[in-house]
Chains A and B, each alone.
Chain A
Amino acid sequence: MGLAETLTYAWPELALAVGAMALLIAGVFLGNGASKHISLASVVLLLIAVGLVLFAPGTANVSLFDGAFRVDGFSTFAKVIIYLAAAIAILMSDRYLAGEELGRCEYPVLIVLAALGMSLMASATDLISLYMGIETQSLALYILASFNRDSRRSTEAGLKYFVLGALSSGMLLYGASLIYGFTGTTSFAGIAEVAAQAENNTGLVIGLVFLISGLAFKVSAAPFHMWTPDVYEGAPTPVTAFFAAAPKFAAMALFVRTLTTSVPGVIDDWRPIVAMIAVASMAVGAFSAIAQNNIKRLMAYSSIGHMGYALIGLAAGTSQGVSSVLIYMAIYVAMTIGAFACILMMRRRGGLTENIADLAGLTKTNMPLAVILTILLFSLAGVPPTAGFFGKWYVFFAAVDADLVWLAIIGVLASAVSAFYYLRIVWFMWFDDPAPAFERDTGPVLTVTAWGSAALMFPVLTVFMGLLTRLAGDAAASLF
């Protein structure tokens, strides 16, 4: 394949990289007054990237750059969701940033750059491109976490994230170097080949343990989850909304692709590791969130738990399992964005409130918001007929299908425990006496996002679940 042809497959990434730099230059020249236009341009850029992904010239699965980068159904599915989630995150931030006088033109550009890194993660089929993708994404995220640089909480969050992120990157690199040392190659296909022929894969497995640790950090799975609540709480809320959605999806996609394509031969070695990480995450997510009074911290623990459920699908290791991870993560991203849109609407006298107690009696003061949040919370808890239930059903089914019934049982028990803290918010909203009302003028973006996400959770996906299942099934099939 000639360079020109190769590049045609990498159009979305090229567009994002060139576009981000152009926007950065434009931002520098136009000054912060133009940050609103830069935001809009970034959103348009991301939407163009979605178009480029969907209408790629050859839809067939191809490997580019000597097998370092792969465009297939899996990466397409992941990229569409990542770009859309990033675009919505930019839109949701505008009002908040303007209100806090944080409206700087770097903000949307950083999100676009992070999306570029995530895009690489979704397509990476080589240890080097894997690391490149992760770092491109992470560096942008570190800055975003401390974007409110005059706030001690925000800087602290950024610093914590950076230090721990660097540690995990180190582990990941160490694991990658061990794998390279054992197999003599960095490409996933090559590793798979060597592993299939070798009689003893101990060296590979040791490297893999470090690699998995690094990846688990990126998806914030227990026991590598410690940074999550602090960063979620400290970062500006729209940034948290972004963190909770797209990067999680990208990291999970990378996790899935790495384990299922590079080391399918040693699945018996990594399956218990992934299963234990899943169990630990579900347990941490279920029990730690009960005591939280800050809704951002609660969402952090909730997301740790959700990563545990998604990892159940990965532990299954089958095509069925991978498609269940994709379905679960897609639904997770949609409901998380909706939940954060609601959190961003918890605004009182100019400031955001983060206390769960502030939601008390919301049905009496702001019925629409209460209904949306109720639907999203029941979906997060996985109660039928919401989409969250369908997501859980697919991962549990994948686990049972792969003879991991015990994992599915732990999963349902954890989800029963976690149902409690979601219910707790619901009962605050419905049963308690009202707290002072929130401001009603929250802008169209948040309202539309919240309504759209709630509509997806309840009627739309319930009816059109077949479509999502088919798309995810096709995407998963491209890995096997």
Chain B
Amino acid sequence: MTESFADQPWLSMTIFAPLVGALWIMLSRLIAKKDDNGAIVGRDLEQIENNARWVALAVSIGTFFVSLGVYALFDPSQGGFQLVEEVAWIGGGVSYKLGVDGISILFVLLTTFITPICILASWDAIKTRVADYMIAFLVMETLMIGVFCALDLFLFYIFFEGGLIPMFLLIGVWGSKGTKTFAGFTMPSRVYAAVKFFLYTLIGSLLLLIAMAWMYAEAGTTDIPTLQQYGFSADAQKWLWLAFFASFAVKMPMWPVHTWLPDAHVQAPTAGSVILAAILLKMGGYGFVRFSLPMFPLASADFAPLIYALSIVAIIYTSLVALAQEDMKKLIAYASVAHMGFVTMGIFTATEQGVEGALFQMLSHGFISGALFLCVGVVYDRMHTREIAAYGGLVHRMPLYAFLFLFFTLGNVGLPGTSGFVGEILAMIGAFKVNSWIAFFAAFGVILSAAYSLRLFRQVMYGELTKEALTAIPDVDRRELFSLGALMVFALYLGFNPGPALAVFSPSVDILLNNYHAALAAGAR
């Protein structure tokens, strides 16, 4: 009985549940009463939009529970892939294959957890084309879960790239106002940001496509576990690693290809920023752990210094850039780049602490930076500006908000007791084991992060409440409190008790690192 229960295609159900919700909303739009111009108007529109909100919320919460079911069936003491599903697909070694291991399972949960929060955050903030928005969001969720579950490189690529389309629309349609002149063209800056996001990521990923074709030609399959064992020649590894690096470094994003991120973050609606920071950025790091380290160990070892250098530059340089920002979202976006520097550094130390720290940092960053973007969204919804200078003294009017913002600010700084601390310290321990100079420079990032985070907090929260517009600003409402509170619980729990999460990571990371060092030893001989 229990066995047949576990044999259900749980992962497919998790992946496609949001898509079913999206189709549902689409259908309700399709059959709705329309006027002569084909537009839905008046009460009908209101009803459709309300339905869309509730369906999206219900479906995303349902998906979260299904993913909890997946987690319940998952055995964290095993390091290999579990709940594997495989169906023949386009033939010739390319199949529809899913599975999760200790590295990916928590990111699946992170995705399904963050999505309902994003939908709650969009509840009142999105006023136009609500149904379309919810459809885009649910499609996005399907693709994101798919990325973390795919065990076939080709399938992974489809989920990985497919995510560009809904995100492109989310930024471009529901992005903020303002115009930008680029190369002589004047366009709305949300369009600029959306196109920049799309093209940057596309160009990076297309090189991954070539590498994928090469690996398929060489190994005759795109099955990820098989490719991880395949053992490409040292020379091939170098090129393949660079191609994968191009893709993941843009997604991550690493310095110097990070410039799309601040644009995208600033223009995206609040929930779009949250999903971008919490999930999309993690795909790059996930890709490094899933592909670069196990498939190209020799090249990873060779290129590790490059990664260290780029990570340190990211940590220090983008932290300094964050210090100079006038826009709240831009500041947090640059802070994200800096924090992702810890992740790349940790991964390529190829030590247990480093990799687990990087994974933990990704998880924790998902909660904390997601929450920070939500916090910005809270005041943005009220005042419609993200200028730091437009605020000040909010603590007098919004004590609860100030408390929550302070908590996540400190989490961003990496204060012990928050989840931000665990990831950073582990990544730095890993770096220390490899080269103490790297850890030395990385530690500057922690100091700088305190500088820019606290500056943001001080300028927004403290001081006299002098601005006329702010005198009537209401504190967080129940919906916002719920979202931020849930994120806070997780950030605190992971901060005080990182053991369970690390225990999920560790069997898979152990296998990964054993294979990695064995391959290095074999390669060195």
Contact = CB atoms under 8 A, between A and B. Distances in A.
B198 A366 contact: no
A426 B167 CA distance: 13
A466 B88 contact: yes
Interface stretch (A33-41, A196-204, A400-408): A400-408
A396 B213 contact: yes
B173 A416 contact: no
Contact of B90 (A390, A400, A427): A390
A412 B206 contact: yes
Contact of B206 (A400, A416, A423): A416
B417 interface: no
A130 B367 CA distance: 66
Interface in A93-125: none
B158 A385 contact: yes
A416 B161 CA distance: 13
Contacts, number: 97
Contacts of B206: 412-413, 415-416
A430 B169 contact: yes
Given A412-B207, A416-B206, A431-B173, A385 B162 contact: yes
Nearest to B30: A368
Given A397-B213, A400-B210, A420-B199, A431 B162 contact: no
Interface in B165-180: 165, 168-169, 172-173
Contact of B91 (A431, A437, A469): A469
B203 interface: yes
Contact of B202 (A368, A419, A440): A419
B258 interface: no
Of the four ranges (under 10, 10 to 19, 20 to 34, 35 or more), the interface on chain B belongs to 35 or more
Chain B at the A interface: SS class: helix
Contacts of A364: 39
A440 B39 CA distance: 12
Contacts of B91: 466, 469-470
A400 B213 contact: yes
Of the four ranges (under 10, 10 to 19, 20 to 34, 35 or more), the interface on chain A belongs to 35 or more
A384 B161 contact: yes
A416 B199 contact: yes
B246 to A, nearest CB: 11
A393 B209 CA distance: 8
Nearest to A371: B26
Contacts of A128: none
A229 B89 CA distance: 39
B157 interface: yes
Interface string B194-212: 1100110011001101100
Contacts of B89: 465-466
Interface of A: 363-368, 378, 383-385, 389-390, 392-393, 396-397, 399-401, 405, 408-409, 412-413, 415-416, 419-420, 423, 426-427, 430-431, 437, 440, 465-466, 469-470
29 contacts: A363-B173, A364-B39, A365-B37, A365-B38, A366-B38, A383-B162, A383-B164, A384-B161, A396-B209, A399-B213, A400-B210, A400-B213, A401-B217, A408-B210, A412-B209, A413-B203, A416-B203, A416-B206, A420-B195, A423-B199, A427-B195, A430-B172, A430-B173, A431-B190, A431-B191, A431-B194, A440-B38, A469-B91, A469-B92
5 tightest A-B contacts by CB? A412-B206, A384-B158, A400-B213, A465-B90, A397-B213
Given A393-B209, A396-B209, A415-B206, 20 more contacts: A363-B173, A384-B162, A393-B213, A396-B210, A401-B217, A408-B213, A413-B203, A416-B202, A419-B198, A420-B199, A423-B195, A426-B168, A427-B172, A427-B194, A431-B190, A431-B194, A465-B89, A466-B88, A466-B89, A469-B92
